[in-house]
Amino acid sequence: MTYRATTDDFQFLFDHIIGYDDIAATELFAEAPGDMATAVLTEAGKMCEDKLAPSHRDGDLTPAVLENGVVRTSPGFADAYAAIAEGGWVGMAADPEYGGMGLPLTLQTAVNDMMSAANLSLQLCPLMTQGQIEALEHHASDELKALYLPKLISGEWAGTMNLTEAQAGSDVGALTSKAVDNGDGTYAVSGQKIFISWGDNDITENVCHLVLARLPDGAAGTKGISLFLVPKFIPDADGNPGEKNDLRVVSLEHKMGLHGSPTAVMSFEGAKGWMIGEPHKGMAAMFTMMNNARLGVGVQGLGAGEGAYQKALAYAQERKQGRTPLGENGTGMIIDFADVRRMLTQMRCELFAARAMALSLSKAIDMATATGDESWKARAALLTPIVKAYGTETGILASHLGVQVHGGMGFIEETGAAQYCRDVRVTAIYEGTNGIQAMDLVGRKMMDGGEAAFRLLDEIEAQAEGARAQFPNMSEAVWSAAEDLRESVEWMVEQGDMQDRFAGAVPFLMGFARVLGAHMHLKAAIAEGGKGARTELARFHINRLLPEHVAQFAQARAGAAGLYALSPEDLAS
């Protein structure tokens, strides 16, 4: 299968769904008008098709390996990564002062989406670097910025994020890694970290680790954690990789998927590091990178889903299986069967909705950065857990349906359909499981009493009201679903016991996404004028998928008592 970049979809979304012109109208992004955005999408699309996609399968068939302490990456990855770095795609949203393009995050999100569809294992490398760039821009000293940012932005050096330890998974505060002041502005960092994506490689000159560790006087829990930049090679006086630091890759994980992405167990053995931000404020600095990564991982999910969709669509158009119901009016291939059409159409609908949400979040971040407006900051905060969770669940669903469209051949590794399932599955787990995202949505993101959610719902209902004359049935369905969501938000903010919120957090988030997706599809139908493929996709989404919100919100408001009615012994009996 040949991957086709979805540049037309992005152009439609920019022009008609998210309003890219609002971003370009700000002073900060005035030099990134719509025609430039189109040119960027076109060039990135070509790069993904020509350079990244050809090595996608190689990453699965010939995984990264650890040889004599050195990670060897999959065939073709070095050349593909060079195309990413040389094209400036790593630092496209980074500060121009240090060599970045200074483009909107919205454009970077679109490019990351296409790279994820073309080669998810490889795209994870620049994604981690992009998160580190943002963390350093916000929290590092001027000296560290001047030394590290140009190399990271150019792609010559890569960045990683080191949070997790064997005894401290989602409970980051339980970490035991320590840092001791060397008395010269550096720290000796010691400890072992697990699940470190792209913990080492042979395609960049240096690997720069952001490591969470505790100073001797650090308090217990997350409040006593500091953040350190620990390079694989300590830069010399000229800023080039010099002496090898006291860190090593212990092993690479044998994983379900993402075989081309080396996931390392890292050991820091008194390694020299530099503090980022203030002592004991490491989590705040790291969250800058984590929030960036949550958007990026949501986009990874839908990007992988796009790859699975394109593969399934191609197969359905070339696979003949008995007599098809459309006879002479059909293609004669399995795409003529109603159930195959159902699966393909759902994949297309879900991917459009997830992509629209990811770009809406990116726009909110760009507008908050450009204007400082608190309402944009609140919108970004609200959408972050939804985009991460729904984007990754969409990728998992699309890859699952992709295997089903292939039938028995989908279960045969030779076709490559199963790779998407295996690769994308972890996206619902890393950078905060989707359950954690949902709890964040009903917890921290509802600390405003639901105000940010209500503002978004007002926009959804206003659009639905305005479209009643053109689309009476779809508009009524969207308006009614938005009211159901409003009632569920009200229920959530009324619950004093957080366990009652958490018990229904996941169905609440997915129901929220259903309503948001319907809103995006209705907007697309309006923009198209009511006739065309996007209008039919909107009808499918609103008539067939949106009704799921009723059951989702019923679960969301069920409370926690029923979950604890069965004891562990009951569950085991």
**Catalytic positions:** 431
In contact, 522 and 470? CB cutoff 8 Å? no
Which is nearest to 552 in space by CA: 518, 520, 513?
Answer: 513
Name 72's bridge partners.
Answer: 65
Q: Cα(350)–Cα(354) distance, rounded to whole angstroms?
A: 6
Query: Strand 157-162 and strand 206-214: pairing?
Result: parallel
SS3 279: coil
282-316 and 120-139 helices, crossing angle to 10° = 160
Query: Strand 206-214 and strand 70-72: pairing?
Result: unpaired
In contact, 537 and 544? CB cutoff 8 Å? no
In contact, 99 and 155? CB cutoff 8 Å? no
In the Cβ-directed half-sphere of 256, how many Cα atoms lie within 13 Å? 10
The structure tokens listed for 250 are 């212990």
In contact, 272 and 245? CB cutoff 8 Å? yes
User: Rounded to the nearest 10 degrees, how much is the dihedral formed by the CA atoms of 13, 15, 16, 22?
Assistant: 100
- CB neighbour class for 70 (10 Å; exposed up to 12, middle 13-18, buried from 19): exposed
In contact, 192 and 267? CB cutoff 8 Å? yes
In contact, 94 and 131? CB cutoff 8 Å? no
